[in-house]
């Protein structure tokens, strides 16, 4: 039996008790299970019908907390749908969810369906069920008939480009399906106009097509079998709806933008090639006894070769990619974002440690100061926060050779630049030198802590590096009369020459 026939059967057997609340019936077929939701009728022009309920907060306050993200921390749900869901949440729906998860694990197909407000509750239940469906299992399919939309623009944005959306098919008679202001579609829609139809998953086009027609005043069950029968009476090619060219043009523009967003996620392998070029640039700079930070700083001021200019282009490509990816990930629900982060955050951390020093070089060449506090690009902060939140740790290489190590703190060179600015100030300033010296001592302690933990790259000790220039200036200012420290002993005794070698 098809979904619409089963809905009709449940409705006809329970319609005398429709005011009693939500009705749920399960049909066990040979290869699939159908769950039918039937709900009481609601008048379209009642204030309650257009009301929405804001959902936010932790799990005990919001069953759909897993859909929230850092950028979208709340969303609104159609109030009657939410009330019917909550009326059965603690008893019937929790038990039903457990049963359906068991069926999905046994590789049985599950179809969840409903008409009018019953279909809206079916959609809400399916969203709730999907969170606990393991990726390896076949997902349930939700089919609704003439159902009001359940969520606002925030929910639509959360589900945009999500695998969850592919689990929804909404059959909509254009003259009967309500579009209430403030509610937005998601999933695929089969929109019927008499004996013609169109199947689309573009939410804006769905709103245009359904919002341009008049609707009835009552959101109640109706026999969609008749609507579907009209579509089967003609050849498929004859029944396809021809829609306005302007609508098609707008759909094409939105599809191209969506493709561009997906391309960013697929571009990771290409981006790895740019990282390889930067790694080679780092090795080549080391051979020249200067380090890649200082070589880049030099060639930005005065380009020395096509290779140097190509590195600048690859740096821009890497930045564009990761800025865009961070923005996309921030839009995703918390649980889906975690999967993406675990898979790609090591790459993001390596990118940050490799490329941010080059951004720092450009920043200080432009004459600006205070990079860490006011000049750092936001996506670096976000990547760093996500990396720490996942409990990930970079390899510390306690006994291995550190020759290819990237300094753990990607802002290290900004600290070097700030320390050099303090040195230059002390050369011309007599008053307040104690305060300036305290800043230099704090920088010394910062560097020594990383050296002790083997978290700094050996290339900072190359004779032509900015760090070694700072050390020579600092040593002269500090003088021999000052008390010695572990760091000054390390540097004065040239112990840095063996730093990073395999233990």
In a domain, 139, yes or no: yes
The pair of structure tokens assigned to 10 is 């449940």
The reported pTM is 0.59
Q: What angle do CA 78, 84, 89 make, to 5 degrees?
A: 115
Instruction: Name the token pair of 403.
Output: 């020759």
Residues of the domain holding 94: 3-261
Question: What is the domain count for the chain?
Answer: 2
Q: Is residue 323 part of a domain?
A: no
The answer to the question of residue 250 being in a domain is yes
Q: Does residue 342 fall inside a structural domain?
A: no
CA 397, 401, 406, 411 dihedral sign is positive
How far is residue 228's CA from residue 205's CA, in Å, rounded to a whole number?
21
199's enclosing H/E stretch is strand 196-200
In CATH, what number is assigned to the domain containing residue 78? 3.40.50
Closest CA relative to residue 122, chosen from 76, 73, 88, 158: 88
Mark which of 205, 240, 261 sits at the end of a domain.
Answer: 261
Residue 58, pLDDT score: 75
Of 232, 261, 290, the one marking the end of a domain is 261
Residue at 358 is within a domain: no
CA angle 418, 419, 422 (to 5 degrees): 90
Is residue 16 a part of any domain in this protein? yes
**Residues in contact with 326: Cβ distance below 8 Å, sequence separation at least 6, in sequence order:** 379, 382, 383
**pLDDT tens, the chain, 503 aa long:** 477 778 778 777 766 555 568 889 999 988 889 999 998 877 655 655 668 999 987 777 788 988 887 678 899 999 999 999 999 988 889 999 999 999 998 888 999 999 889 999 999 999 999 988 887 788 999 999 989 899 999 999 999 867 888 899 999 887 777 677 789 999 999 888 777 778 888 888 888 888 755 455 445 666 777 777 766 665 444 445 455 566 666 666 666 665 555 555 556 667 878 888 898 888 888 888 889 999 999 887 776 677 788 888 899 999 998 998 888 888 777 655 555 566 678 889 999 999 999 999 999 999 999 999 999 999 999 999 998 888 877 766 666 778 888 999 999 999 999 999 999 999 888 788 899 999 999 999 999 999 999 999 999 999 989 999 999 999 998 875 567 899 999 999 999 999 988 76
Does residue 237 lie in a domain region? Answer: yes
Coil, strand, or helix at residue 168? strand
**Residue 324, in any domain of the structure:** no
158: number of Cβ within 10 Å: 24
Domain end call among 222, 245, 261: 261
């Amino acid at each position: 039996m098809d979904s619409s026939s089963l809905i009709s059967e449940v409705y006809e057997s329970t319609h005398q008790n429709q005011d009693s609340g939500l009705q749920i019936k399960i049909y066990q077929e040979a290869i699939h299970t159908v769950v039918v939701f039937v709900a009481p009728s609601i008048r379209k022009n009642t204030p309650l019908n257009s009301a929405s309920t804001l959902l936010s907060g932790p799990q005990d306050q919001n069953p759909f907390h897993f859909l929230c993200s850092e950028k979208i921390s709340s969303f609104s749900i159609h109030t009657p749908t939410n009330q019917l869901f909550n009326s059965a949440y603690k008893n019937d729906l929790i038990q039903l969810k457990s049963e359906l998860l068991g069926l999905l694990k046994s590789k049985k197909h599950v179809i969840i369906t409903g008409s009018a407000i019953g279909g809206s509750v079916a959609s809400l239940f399916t969203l709730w069920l999907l969170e606990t469906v393991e990726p390896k299992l076949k997902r349930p399919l939700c089919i609704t008939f003439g159902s009001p939309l359940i969520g606002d623009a925030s929910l639509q944005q959360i589900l945009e480009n999500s695998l969850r959306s592919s689990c929804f098919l909404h059959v909509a008679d254009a003259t009967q399906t309500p579009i209430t202001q403030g509610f937005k579609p998601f999933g695929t829609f089969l929109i019927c106009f008499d004996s013609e139809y169109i199947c689309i998953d573009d939410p804006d086009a769905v709103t245009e097509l359904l919002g341009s027609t008049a609707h009835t005043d009552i959101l109640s069950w109706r026999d969609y079998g008749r609507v579907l029968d009209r579509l089967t009476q003609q050849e498929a090619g004859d029944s396809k709806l021809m829609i306005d060219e302007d609508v098609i043009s707008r759909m094409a523009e939105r599809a191209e933008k969506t493709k561009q967003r997906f391309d960013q996620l697929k571009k990771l392998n290409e981006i790895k090639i740019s990282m390889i070029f930067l790694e080679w640039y780092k090795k080549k700079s080391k051979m020249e006894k200067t380090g890649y930070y200082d070589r880049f700083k030099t060639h930005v001021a005065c380009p020395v070769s096509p290779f140097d200019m190509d590195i600048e282009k690859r740096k821009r490509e890497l930045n564009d990619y990761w800025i865009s990816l961070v923005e996309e990930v921030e839009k995703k629900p918390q649980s889906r974002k975690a999967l993406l982060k675990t898979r790609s955050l090591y790459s993001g951390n390596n990118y940050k440690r490799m490329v941010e020093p080059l951004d720092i070089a450009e920043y200080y060449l432009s004459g600006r100061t205070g990079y860490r506090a006011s000049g750092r690009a936001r996506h670096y902060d976000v990547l760093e926060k996500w990396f720490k939140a996942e409990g990930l740790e970079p390899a510390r290489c306690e006994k291995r050779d550190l020759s290819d190590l990237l300094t753990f703190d990607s802002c290290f060179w900004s600290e070097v630049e700030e320390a050099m600015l303090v040195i230059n100030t002390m050369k011309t300033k007599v008053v307040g030198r104690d305060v300036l010296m305290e800043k230099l001592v704090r920088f010394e302690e910062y560097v020594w802590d990383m050296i002790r933990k083997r978290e700094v790259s050996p290339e900072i000790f190359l004779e032509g590096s900015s760090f070694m220039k700072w050390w020579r200036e600092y040593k002269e200012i500090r003088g021999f009369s000052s008390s010695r420290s572990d760091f000054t002993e390390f540097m004065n005794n040239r112990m840095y020459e063996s730093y990073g070698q395999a233990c």
